Structure 1
């Protein structure tokens, strides 16, 4: 079914592994400056370190914060020692901790949304130029209201597929969903009374994957069913979770004033680790906008991964068959894959199930990985995520160098489940949240592995992820709606500027520019979809290392226009000019925005942008488009 018949020789891999000490090679990522983002971006954090009454500093204990708003400086403090550290014990406690931080009565805590707490500046030394923190009043005066409250996300019935085709978890893995925290793989074997054997301890390898048995992926522009639904509901833009979540992330960065995630309750090992989103989340990204129905002027958004196969393709393909390992009984999976002597692979007629959602003129498609039927007959659907261990993700092109890396402890800076959770906060949860919201899913079922074996499982609810990224569910919902509305308005504006030619394909690049407090959008106007078709031919990828190689080899002189979008959040009627948005339940959020035509972009600038947009798996890129980051809970 999913694997090619027979076991392939691993001698070449083993010989390669024998040349180095894998554990030493892996641990260098946690001890050298090679992966310390704080050494790449040297921007002072707006707080002063104070003694926390402990020999080990903790970024969440005993600090004095200098909150910045509109040039107003208010000194406040809180002591995180006032409640116990619940190491790696997450869930509802997070919101309580955040509420304590904001509403503490024992210390005067500055609430960024409270006008009465404003005070005169005490010290402006950390401002390079106080004027830099002010909005462009000329732009703000002509800014439009973003009317995202007017529309709600509407679920569209899938009349073309039965929900019965959505698989369920097998091998008693549903018990993981009832357990808070990590469920070790050894415990899974125990509840299955040992019948699994090495099922999760010896994973089939990449070379054994039979790709013909994996359901094909159809981009939105090629999905006839998606187009039919769009025509039925009068939609203007169609897109999938994989094509739009990265754009939604940039919308969130702008609306929140580049707020960092919440890291409460992590251990002391992360005192000096970055408290911000990974560069891979902040970097530019690009999409294709293509008219698929000239009569009704319906557009599709397809993803743009660059001119060569993504470096994480190994993990993507392994993730597909690992999903099936979680959904099939062990014996059934072995027989279907031909790994059991005396059996032959069976034909695979599976198909993916999709949910559809409508937000005003945007139609969204979401693939549903799995479902669970509760005792009362109700169902909940969720994502399945196969998560490779940290060092493999950090250097995926050389992942075979790190196959000896194991997750062997609960907390700690390396070789721990806590490391994986910390990386999920910085590099996974924002994307997972958007995917869950689009598909109406309850959470994510995660399998932690190193491509050789599974170390453990965990079910993380949507609510927990929202608290980590946004602080509360209410803010998450508003961000999602506002992000979609902003995308819709931006696309409409760009099309009104460049025209709606059925033969045109637009490549749109997005980057939330923190230093300029604007959303930069690069629009390359292509006269046809030749680029999209050529990209499937290997002849164009053999000698291409950078985007400039592609354009020069074909003699393409791209026509590129740059747009800038200004986003102005307003909390409880108060414009927040600089500080990260600390939204609390019951607050009101309003947004104003502007869109300006910046003009024609020079070739070199555009090539630099694309180069950094396509480096999707580089955690530690020292590039101008990654930017600095504002510190804020």
Structure 2
């Protein structure tokens, strides 16, 4: 059978599965293979409904065999199922004029200021070196140059992070403000990222600020950032708390350093030293607990949002608040679990492919700016203060304002576009959660969100009711592994000679009742390939797989939906807004459709598999780190960096050091 005939039969079968108006649209769009001619549809008709564009995208992919070239692209087979399985459908629109963020005026304690004179960084664009590489003069206290090892910092003295579902103050404010959904900036950003992909039609990042000779030119977000987002919607006394899904969480040293370095950047040297385990006047847990946390609270629609405030300077625009970010160098980030191999890597240059601030900035654009900018917006902050380090030492600092991040993400420094997209994202998310909670009222729910790449991008939403026991099992399934890792890096017990980070962690002995098995348990390697491959499917294998998955999800309540949007700016349809200003009106027409059929469980499991695959990687954007040429190159540079640092330290021991603020 010829490929053309096979594609024609596939199109005919697809049309036979779809009934009603959508079937008529399909009929109109499928070309007549005999004549290769058809009447062109008017521009207005073609753009009349987002679903028409989606159907056209499906037919195009099925007939042209469009390859699945990235993990974010959807296969023609899944697209055809989606279109043949849409039943209840909700249509509507949201626009920026009806969505406003309302700050709540609640009493809060003073927010910390930067220490060591670091406030100079806030008002100087670009990188501020800890030590000028040419003159060797320290711009700040050399104490910042040597980071306190995590094994010496007393993390037990720090307050535990309070999730949205355990925050009684947040719940009380929700009752007072009559808000249905409550969340923190950290629990909301992963889902909001997928609304950015959808509303911007996978807008590429803007890297025009990079130097001409910078070797990397990728404009996509990292694999990790594009992976499906999962969350729990925990029902509590009339409201739903948003908690991040921690099923695939793992420990790494950067989790610890972020906490200790935040203290370093906001405390005087003497106060920070009190967190050292061996300090004679070590801070107690009671003293730490007495230090109040500061938050911003805001509402939009049915949402109440909480943002922890890291630092403040009254001279900054707006509220004067900003976030603190500690950014490890590329050799650490790409294999954080085995960070020892990346120790020694130095930042020695402003520009260049390696050992440069330019490399770190480029990686932040692709891997972190989207999350950072969303956190800044939720917290009504001005920007982020970044400290670049290699775990052992700090190299420099940079303040990145929200307009600067927006330039990289949205292609403009005017924050109107990013602000509008944020409000529309909250509005659409509100619609989705309303639909889910209407179907499963007064129940806790696990949700997955994933924007898939197609000619017209769309979002998958999967919702599954869960019990508190199931949530607890999922959230703590890796806790033993995390605790063991923490004990090792903090030297809380003697090292076991067989301790090897490359070993596969043991699984829990048995899952809780009705808990969701991991994708590793569900699928063999061949099955995983089927989820993410452009090769023609093995029909018999897929049939067996679907039967297995039907048994796996038997008895489970799963709600599956797709979200398709159409952007209109000042009444005109656009792929994505460009050069957007505050007086422009952005309207989003949407179709939220529920999927039904036996393949829903397969789509859900495939989504979970993609998430596990992305989150089980060692680094930010690389797979198979041990055999990766890029990783080996970074490890080689780390070795050379250690030799370079030894020479620099030897020079300092002989000639001494000079600090800018000291008398000469």
With the length of structure 1 as denominator, give the TM-score of the two structures. 0.69
CA distance in 1, matches of 2:429, 2:136: 47
Determine helix, strand or coil for the equivalent of 1:207: coil
In 2, Cα distance between equivalents of 1:556 and 1:71:
42
Deviations 1:109-151, CA, capped at 9 Å, x for gaps: xxxxxxxxxxxxxxx99x9489x99x99x99x97311244213
Partners of 2:281 and 2:465 lie apart in 1 by 54
Deviations 1:183-238 (A, max 9, x none): 111159x99989834x2222122323322222211111110000000000110000
Aligned to 2:30: none
Asked if the contact 1:214–1:321 (Cα under 8 Å) also holds between the matched residues in 2, the reply is: no
Aligned ranges for residues 152-191 of structure 1 at < 5 Å? 152-159=100-107, 161-162=108-109, 164=110, 166-186=111-131
Distance 1:373 1:191, change over 3 A: farther
Distance of 1:196 and 1:71 partners within structure 2: 69
1:536 pairs with one of 462, 476, 487:
476
Match of 1:431 among 371, 374, 377: 371
SS in 2 for 1:208: coil
Who is 1:397 aligned against? 337
User: In the alignment, what sits opposite 1:568?
Assistant: 566
Q: Deviations over 1:89-118 (max 9, x none)?
A: xxxxxxxxxxxxxxxxxxxxxxxxxxxxxx
How many pairs are equivalent? 483
2:97 aligns to what? 149
Q: Compared with structure 1, are the counterparts of its residues 406 and 336 closer, same or farther at alpha carbon in structure 2 (3 Å cutoff)? A: same
- The one of 484, 490, 501 equivalent to 2:432 is 490
Alignment-derived partner of residue 184 in structure 2: 240
The 2-side partners of 1:537 and 1:267 are apart by 45
1:446 correspondence with 2:444? no
Matched, 1:211 2:169: no
Q: Is the 8 A contact 2:403 2:415 kept in 1?
A: yes
Displacement of 1:252 in angstroms is 1.1
CA distance in 2: counterparts of 1:172 and 1:314, whole angstroms: 27
Q: Matched residues in 2 for 1:487 and 1:616: separation?
A: 28
Q: State which of 416, 419, 426 in structure 2 corresponds to 1:474.
A: 416
List per-residue Cα deviations over 1:245-291 (Å, max 9, x = no partner).
11111111111111112111211333543112111211111000111
Q: Where does residue 85 of structure 1 map in the other structure?
A: none
Contact 1:547 1:610 in 2 (8 A): no
User: Are positions 1:281 and 2:225 aligned together?
Assistant: yes
Contact 1:172–1:191 (8 Å) recurs in 2: no
Match of 1:582 in 2: 578
For the residues of structure 1 that align with 2:121 and 2:336, how far apart are their CA atoms?
Answer: 28
Cα distance change of structure 1 residues 142 and 615 upon mapping to structure 2, 3 Å threshold: same
Q: 1:193 to 1:397 in 2, by over 3 A?
A: closer
**Alpha-carbon distance change, 202 to 618 in structure 1, aligned in 2, over 3 angstroms:** closer
Aligned residue in 1 for 2:260 = 321
Does the aligned pair in 2 maintain the 1:220–1:300 contact within 8 Å?
Answer: yes
Q: Is the 8 A contact 2:319 2:380 kept in 1?
A: no
Mapping for residues 57-96 of structure 1, pairs under 5 Å = none
Cα gap change, 1:321 to 1:191, in 2 (>3 Å): farther
Pairing 1:583-622 to 2, within 5 Å after superposition:
583-585=579-581, 587-599=584-596, 600-602=600-602, 604-605=605-606, 607-612=608-613, 614-615=615-616, 618-620=619-621
SS at match of 1:146: strand
Specify the alignment match of 1:418 in structure 2: 358
Query: 1: distance between equivalents of 2:355 and 2:140?
Result: 28
Range with greater deviation from structure 2 (428-437 or 516-525):
516-525
Tell me, yes or no, if the aligned pair for 1:544 and 1:550 is still in contact at 8 Å.
no
SS of residue in 1 equivalent to 2:113: coil
CA distance in 2, matches of 1:240, 1:604: 27
Structure 1, unaligned stretches of length 5 or more? Answer: 1-69, 73-123, 624-633
1:268 counterpart SS class: coil
Change (3 A) 1:540 1:507: farther
5 Å-filtered alignment, 1:16-415, equals 128=64, 143-159=91-107, 161-162=108-109, 164=110, 166-186=111-131, 196-197=141-142, 199-270=143-214, 272-293=216-237, 297-307=238-248, 309-311=249-251, 313-337=252-276, 343-345=281-283, 347-348=287-288, 349-374=290-315, 380-415=320-355
Q: 1:414 to 1:128 in 2, by over 3 A?
A: farther
Q: 2:518 aligns with which of 542, 547, 550?
A: 547
Please state how far the C-alpha of 1:622 moved relative to its aligned partner.
7.0
Q: Say if 1:280 and 1:617, in contact at 8 Å, map to a contact too.
A: no
For 1:264 and 1:274, how far apart are their aligned partners in 2?
Answer: 12
TM-score, structure 2 as length reference: 0.66
CA contact (8 A) 2:126 2:399 kept: yes
**Contact 1:382–1:442 at 8 Å: present in 2 too?**
yes
CA offset at residue 343 of structure 1? 4.7
Distance change (3 Å), C-alpha of 1:460 and 1:71 = farther
Determine the C-alpha separation between the residues in 1 that align with 2:397 and 2:140.
18
| Structure number, greater radius of gyration | 2
- Contact kept, 8 Å, 1:237 with 1:363, in 2: the verdict is yes
Residue pair 2:198, 2:565 contacting (<8 A) in 1 also = yes
* Distance of aligned partners of 1:339 and 1:168 in 2 relative to their CA distance in 1, 3 Å threshold: farther
Paired with 1:539 and 1:612, the residues of 2 have a C-alpha distance of 19
* Residues 1:517 and 1:621: Cα distance change in structure 2 (over 3 Å): farther
> CA RMSD, aligned part only?
3.8
| Equivalent pair of 1:306/1:614 in contact (CA under 8 Å) | no
In structure 2, the CA distance between the partners of 1:268 and 1:192, relative to structure 1 (3 Å rule), is closer
Cα distance in 1 for partners of 2:436, 2:617 equals 25
Give the match's secondary structure for 2:297. strand
Aligned equivalents of 2:441, 2:615: Cα separation in 1: 27
Matched-pair contact (CA < 8 Å) for 1:143–1:593: yes
Work out whether residues 513 and 519 of structure 1, in 8 Å CA contact, stay in contact via their aligned partners in 2. yes
Is the Cα–Cα contact under 8 Å of residues 239 and 363 in structure 1 kept in the other structure?
yes
Structure 2 residue runs of 5 or longer lacking an equivalent are 1-39, 43-59, 67-75, 482-504, 509-516, 524-551, 625-664
The 10-residue stretch of structure 1 (179-188 or 506-515) with the greater mean CA deviation from structure 2: 179-188
In structure 2, C-alpha distance between the alignment counterparts of 1:399 and 1:158, rounded to whole Å: 42
Kept in 1, the 8 Å contact 2:94–2:589? The answer is: yes
- What SS is found at the alignment partner of 2:213? helix
Greater Cα offset, 470-479 or 482-491: 470-479
Distance 1:463 1:191 in 2: 32
What do the CA deviations read for 1:150-205 (whole angstroms, capped 9, x no partner)?
1310001123x32x2x11101100011111111111159x99989834x2222122
d(CA) in 2 for partners of 1:284 and 1:537? 19
Conservation of the 8 A alpha-carbon contact between 2:561 and 2:593:
yes
